[in-house]
Chain A
Amino acid sequence: MLSRRSFLTMSSALSGAIITAPSWATLAQQNAGKKLYASAYSLNKQEHFFGLFDEKGEMIWDTKLLDRAHAPVVHPNQSIVGIVARRPGFFMDFFDVSTHQNIMRIEPTQDHHFYGHALFTTDGKRLITQENHYPSGQGKIFVREWPSGQVVQSFSSNGIGPHESVLLNDQVLVITNGGLMTHPDEDRKILNLDTMKPNVTYLNLKDGSVLNQSGNNDELHQLSIRHLDVNQHGTVALGFQYQGAMWDQVPLVALSRIDQEELEYLPIPEEVRVRFKQYCGSVCFDNSGEILAISTPRGGLVAYWHVGSKTFLGVENCRDVCGLVATDNAHEFLLTSGIGSQLTSNPVQKVSKVIKKHPDLHWDNHLRQINT
């Protein structure tokens, strides 16, 4: 495994590369109507990859990675996808989908590591990452110019452990500060279990000011707010991972809004809640924004809610499932699992279909659609 220090000493020979990738629109003309999905995967503990597959689940391209990765990042215009190293992450590799060439590697600045997630601004001119300044343990948001990779802004995430963030609009970034303080010298060991205080922060990207911040009450301070998604109505969905006892009855899913002080916990039937084993994986709204899906690999299921009525709809059972993305069809999701399955699931029509199974590989935590 690549050590942090050995990696940091590598020169970023690729930085400054000229990005000549065609637009998604151009690529779409070449591959009429083809939908692509991106995800990291592993064959075993030593062999890690990043791959693209089509709507039939067929792998169309893959490449070996230095280490296990976490979430893909898709450029909004250019045919470029990236993959972020898993926490504590020290690389982000970017690829030109038209040529499948590795075009760039971005590393964190000194004394920082990535959390496994990143995103582009809607115009594609900036790349936003959540990072840990590990000497202090403070969460940071870095804004880099694309494609130079130069840091143009950095803000406090206003919490510890900023795991994932999404754009509410061009000016507002919504961040889940998971609350877990870690240091890469101690891998993923939680150093502040007794004092952790996760929050969701609405950050003004112009000046780094906090527009809204919510959290759980003190009794639930070990309820890490980890993943999120936002729909077209500005509703933010949050998935939690509880660091306390397995038997504690805690909420695991909540909704938030920029103009709302408190988190609004969504109902889960108790027999389903216990199956979550205190752990939410991915959080995802469907294409219409009406349906929320939350995966739990430990529970082996994806749970669904109707967002408007805050009604629990049911579950799709799938062992080791974690990857979750909305398809172009309203109410439909694509799911990937650690046992290699890819399936579509529509909780409104109550239909699901396995599209492919790759029994020799383990799809990693997060899945993204490439909108060509």
Chain B
Amino acid sequence: MKYLPKLIALAISASTPLLASAGQWEGPLNGIVANVVKQGYESYSESSKTLQQRTDALCASPSKTTLHDAQEAFQTNALDWQQVQWLNFGPVTYFMRYYAFEYWPDKKGVTQRQLRALAQGDPAVMDAPKFWTSASIAVRGLTAIESLLYHPDFEPTQSVEHCRLLGKVTAHHLESANAVAKQWQDGKAQDWVFDEEGTGFDPEKVALELFLQQWIEHMSAVKDAKLETPIGYNSRENLKLAEFYRSDLSLRAIQKNLQSYREIYHAGSPSLYEIAKQTNPALAEQFEEQLTQNIKLALQLPSDFFHADYTQEARVALAKPLVKSISNSQSYLASMVTQLGFQIGFNSRDGD
């Protein structure tokens, strides 16, 4: 019976009988944490800092040039986020940070509405000690920053209030990014696993299992929410539902996600790829090829894919090979993970 999450011991002590699989998953888990997650949050934290500095410069000297500089910093930061977006686990789950970093899809325009209210109100409220911890997630991160930099309702070069608001949001965003990066530097994935009753509980394997489940889930989100839904692959087209549509990052975000997938697969020694090759070489290679194919197909899409005046039919036709390729990747990944002895979720994935 546990109420608060139990932080698992940092290592299995020498006196503890070794589990049959103890250490088996250390390679890929540590590799993913070090090369994808920690490095990813480090970059994200650094680009959040640049973004905050550029918005300060914009507000100090509003001009097209400083606005452009801030927008450029935003784009770098939003793409750094794509590297770690697949993992809603660990430090990013605190204070709803994951959803605050990116409030998307914002189908009802909540971000714009709340930003307008904040811009019209007393700016001093944003300096209150607990303002940002209790503030709506819609105004705490990249979605809000994108609105302030790109949405026609906001004019940071003309309005002191809008620019001040932009400065406050980017400062909070930097603080959150730094906090997550630091928590990852100071800890490890196993610290965030909830201990369970029963013998044979292996926190390393459970942590990696959660990673793999999140990866599978994210792959679905890339195919469905990022690609199919906005272009109306199965229903009505609504391009404004594309991720970071206003800053024209929708396609580049997908490309970045797909690149991060290969990094996950090859991180660590041994990596998942290397372990999978021992178990089922054909499947391991199929998945590897599909991941490479995903990247290739995403890069082949026209850079104005989400913006140019294509018909829905034309856009769907262009997307079809990539949709199929990601779909194949999902199947391969699910099979591979299962064959490696991980649970991909039964009731949790498909309950009623």
Chain A residues in contact with chain B, CB under 8 A? 42, 70, 86-87, 116, 163, 188, 246-247, 271-272, 274, 279, 281, 297-298, 300-301, 314-322, 337-339, 341, 343, 345-347, 350-354, 357, 362-365
Q: A297-B351, A365-B347 are in contact. List 14 more A-B contacts (CB 8 A).
A: A163-B352, A279-B351, A297-B348, A298-B348, A300-B194, A314-B1, A315-B2, A317-B2, A317-B196, A318-B196, A318-B197, A319-B348, A354-B199, A364-B347
Q: Which of B3, B4, B99 contacts A246 (CB 8 A)?
A: B99
Contact with A along B191-212 (1 / 0, CB 8 A): 0001111110000001000000
Which residues does chain A contribute within 8 Å of B196, judged by CB atoms?
Answer: 317-319
Q: B200 — nearest CB in chain A belongs to which residue? A: A357
Which residues does chain A contribute within 8 Å of B351, judged by CB atoms?
Answer: 279, 281, 297-298, 322, 365
The yes or no answer to B343 lying at the interface (CB within 8 A) is yes
Q: Which of B3, B4, B137, B347 contacts A247 (CB 8 A)?
A: B137
- Check if B343 sits within 8 Å of A320, measured CB to CB: yes
Q: List 27 A-B contacts (CB under 8 A).
A: A86-B352, A87-B352, A247-B99, A274-B93, A279-B351, A297-B345, A297-B348, A297-B351, A298-B348, A300-B194, A301-B194, A314-B1, A314-B3, A315-B1, A316-B2, A317-B2, A318-B196, A320-B346, A320-B348, A338-B345, A338-B348, A351-B1, A352-B1, A352-B197, A364-B346, A364-B347, A365-B352
Which residues does chain B contribute within 8 Å of A320, judged by CB atoms?
Answer: 343, 345-348
Which residues does chain B contribute within 8 Å of A350, judged by CB atoms?
Answer: 1
Which residues does chain B contribute within 8 Å of A347, judged by CB atoms?
Answer: 1
Which residues does chain A contribute within 8 Å of B206, judged by CB atoms?
Answer: 319
Chain B residues in contact with chain A, CB under 8 A? 1-4, 93, 96, 99, 103, 137, 194-199, 206, 343, 345-348, 351-352
Q: How far is B198's CA from A353's CA once the two chains are assembled, in angstroms?
A: 7
Which residues does chain A contribute within 8 Å of B3, judged by CB atoms?
Answer: 272, 314-315
Q: B334 — nearest CB in chain A belongs to which residue? A: A45
B interface SS class: loop
- Min C-beta distance of A86 to chain B, whole Å: 6
Which residues does chain A contribute within 8 Å of B198, judged by CB atoms?
Answer: 341, 343, 354, 357
Which residues does chain B contribute within 8 Å of A319, judged by CB atoms?
Answer: 196, 206, 343, 348
Q: How far is B93's CA from A251's CA once the two chains are assembled, in angstroms?
A: 19
Q: How far is B1's CA from A347's CA once the two chains are assembled, in angstroms?
A: 7
Q: How far is B197's CA from A320's CA once the two chains are assembled, in angstroms?
A: 14
Q: How far is B193's CA from A319's CA once the two chains are assembled, in angstroms?
A: 11
Q: How far is B99's CA from A57's CA once the two chains are assembled, in angstroms?
A: 40
Which residues does chain B contribute within 8 Å of A338, judged by CB atoms?
Answer: 343, 345-348
- Check if B347 sits within 8 Å of A317, measured CB to CB: no
Q: Which of A163, A188, A353 contacts B197 (CB 8 A)?
A: A353
7 cross-chain pairs, A with B, having the tightest CB-CB distances, nearest first: A338-B346, A297-B347, A354-B198, A247-B99, A362-B346, A314-B3, A322-B347
- Min C-beta distance of A196 to chain B, whole Å: 16
Which residues does chain B contribute within 8 Å of A274, judged by CB atoms?
Answer: 93, 96
- Check if A116 sits within 8 Å of B352, measured CB to CB: yes
Q: How far is B206's CA from A343's CA once the two chains are assembled, in angstroms?
A: 18
- Check if B346 sits within 8 Å of A317, measured CB to CB: no
Among B99, B197, B345, residue most surrounded by chain A Cβ atoms (within 10 Å): B197
Which residues does chain B contribute within 8 Å of A345, judged by CB atoms?
Answer: 1, 197
Which residues does chain A contribute within 8 Å of B352, judged by CB atoms?
Answer: 70, 86-87, 116, 163, 188, 365
Q: B88 — nearest CB in chain A belongs to which residue? A: A246
Which residues does chain A contribute within 8 Å of B99, judged by CB atoms?
Answer: 246-247
Which residues does chain A contribute within 8 Å of B343, judged by CB atoms?
Answer: 319-320, 338-339
- Check if B346 sits within 8 Å of A247, measured CB to CB: no
Which residues does chain B contribute within 8 Å of A271, judged by CB atoms?
Answer: 4
- Check if A281 sits within 8 Å of B347, measured CB to CB: yes
Q: How far is B199's CA from A247's CA once the two chains are assembled, in angstroms?
A: 34
Which residues does chain B contribute within 8 Å of A353, judged by CB atoms?
Answer: 197
Q: How far is B199's CA from A363's CA once the two chains are assembled, in angstroms?
A: 19
Which residues does chain B contribute within 8 Å of A318, judged by CB atoms?
Answer: 196-197
Which residues does chain B contribute within 8 Å of A298, judged by CB atoms?
Answer: 348, 351
Q: How far is B2's CA from A365's CA once the two chains are assembled, in angstroms?
A: 23
Which residues does chain B contribute within 8 Å of A246, judged by CB atoms?
Answer: 99
- Min C-beta distance of B194 to chain A, whole Å: 4
Q: How far is B346's CA from A364's CA once the two chains are assembled, in angstroms?
A: 8
- Min C-beta distance of B184 to chain A, whole Å: 19
- Check if B194 sits within 8 Å of A42, measured CB to CB: no
Which residues does chain B contribute within 8 Å of A300, judged by CB atoms?
Answer: 194, 348
Which residues does chain A contribute within 8 Å of B348, judged by CB atoms?
Answer: 297-298, 300, 319-320, 338
- Min C-beta distance of A277 to chain B, whole Å: 8
- Check if A247 sits within 8 Å of B96, measured CB to CB: yes
- Min C-beta distance of A364 to chain B, whole Å: 7
- Min C-beta distance of A162 to chain B, whole Å: 13
- Min C-beta distance of B323 to chain A, whole Å: 19
Q: A357 — nearest CB in chain B belongs to which residue? A: B198
